A and B are shown apart, each in its own frame.
Chain A
Amino acid sequence: MSNDIKQSLQKQGNALAKTEHQLAVLKGGIFASGELPTFAQKISESAQLPLRPRKLEILQINLGYMCNQVCAHCHVDAGPDRKEIMTRDTMQICLEVIKNTGAHTLDLTGGAPEMCPDFRWFVEEASKAGISDFIVRSNLTIIRANPKYHDLPDFFKQYNIHVVSSMPHWTRGKTDKQRGAGVFDQSIEALEQLNGVGYGMPGSTLRLDLVYNPSGAFLPGDQASMEKEFKHALRDDFGIYFHNLFAITNLPISRFLDYLIISDNYEDYMYALVEAFNPAAVANVMCTNTISVSWDGYLYDCDFNQMLGLKVASKIQHLKDYNEDILNDRDIVISQHCYGCTAGAGSSCQGVVA
């Protein structure tokens, strides 16, 4: 899987930019023929259908699909050419929800969430509204991309933001292959800056976790073993520290789905996901305690469903109508991409779940 991608699928006019086309792929082929069970069939075997939410704990807000990188695996199809960005008006509605929600964590993602012009304002206002548990999913290179972002580590520190950053490998070659030329060196510089203000250091309360996702058509290895390898290599080679590694499975949607199909790996990958299905992981998948909010205020069971255009199966589908009790009384929308979250030890934005 090499990164010679310069534009989003949307900008390229690729058919897979259309969510209905992706959903047709996921519903057809080996699943339509019965060669492999659908996700609904699989979880019904373990009496887990319908999948229902537990208590809402995390509001994951996608501030927009704009990003300074164009990563080969990106499920958002993010990039510099994406213009979908959350406006301050939508943020105001988010803040009203934040004042009344039972969720304790605000998880900000993108794209590069920091590129949203009102990112800092939103964090400040959410903090005033009572949020103390922030997560920002930072791609690291944004910190080095432009002088206006160089002070992000200090801003993160000011609000005690838990920083979760992508780092596909501890070597330059594998990282740049997935995320683009020069990304590894910029990421190392950003990690040095974060360590410099205390992030990720042993014993520090400034949380810095890294996210590993495979660079090709294979599932992630054991999270604990990978964490040891990452820690050892980053400390010895660069003097860099971080707290935990989250091993995340690539879900077969958007650019990764495009890659699987083009490289003739789609069927084998789906076989691998289905064979690795773990019923124990189903109980704790992230959609059971998280609501995903899109840049334009719509509600989804997870960020992946958001990218597939699968809104929550509820009469409450937008922040302006938000009612947590009604929203929590719903069935979670599923399709075959959900196998990605239930393979092996499971996969979520917080890493393994089983």
Chain B
Amino acid sequence: MAYYNEKDLRKFGQITEWSEELGTKFFDYYGKVFEEGALTSREKALIALAVAHTEQCPYCIDAYTTDTLKRGVTKAEMMEAIHVGAAIKSGASLVHGVMMMNKVNKLDG
């Protein structure tokens, strides 16, 4: 069995078949989140693309690469969005260095 199969993305909607109420609530919520609001759906798609990479979800990367292309997003904009995600991800690691420094200072200061 393959862990990831790109054709499985087409089956995402089928999760509702095994739990109709929760699946339906999820997709209603999901659809609502991506509607135009205080943020444009284009801005939301770029956020989703960045998060797709920090989550390292192949399905999400597939879906939101296509979605951002559909919205006319350029390659440069897409890559910048991913760098924002990557910067937060690496920053989140590095900021824990302060914890390490605090501990070192306490034990061996």
A binds B: yes
Show the binding face of A for B, using Cβ within 8 Å: 169-171, 173-174, 212, 214, 216, 218-222, 225-226, 229-230, 271, 275
A229 touches B66 (CB 8 A): no
B74 touches A218 (CB 8 A): no
A271 touches B74 (CB 8 A): no
A225 touches B42 (CB 8 A): yes
Fill in one digit per residue for B87-102: 1 if any A CB lies within 8 Å of its CB, else 0: 0000000000000000
Q: Which residues of B, 65-79, contact A by the 8 Å Cβ criterion? A: 66-67, 69-72, 74-75
B36 touches A218 (CB 8 A): no
B70 touches A219 (CB 8 A): yes
Chain B hits for A275, CB < 8 A: 10
Q: Is the contact region of chain B dominated by helix, strand, or loop, or is it mixed?
A: helix
A229 touches B69 (CB 8 A): no
B70 touches A169 (CB 8 A): no
Chain A hits for B72, CB < 8 A: 169-170, 212, 221, 226, 229-230
Q: Does B41 contact A (CB under 8 A)?
A: yes
Q: Which residues of B, 10-54, contact A by the 8 Å Cβ criterion? A: 10, 36, 40-42
A221 touches B70 (CB 8 A): yes
The 5 closest A-B pairs by CB, nearest first: A221-B70, A221-B71, A218-B69, A218-B66, A218-B70
Chain B hits for A214, CB < 8 A: 69-70
- Least Cβ–Cβ distance between A59 and chain B, in angstroms: 32
- Least Cβ–Cβ distance between A169 and chain B, in angstroms: 6
Chain B hits for A229, CB < 8 A: 42, 71-72
B42 (CB) vs chain A CBs: closest residue: A225
Q: Can you list 11 A-B pairs, Cβ within 8 angstroms, ordered by A?
A: A171-B74, A173-B75, A174-B74, A214-B70, A218-B66, A218-B69, A218-B70, A219-B70, A221-B72, A229-B72, A230-B72
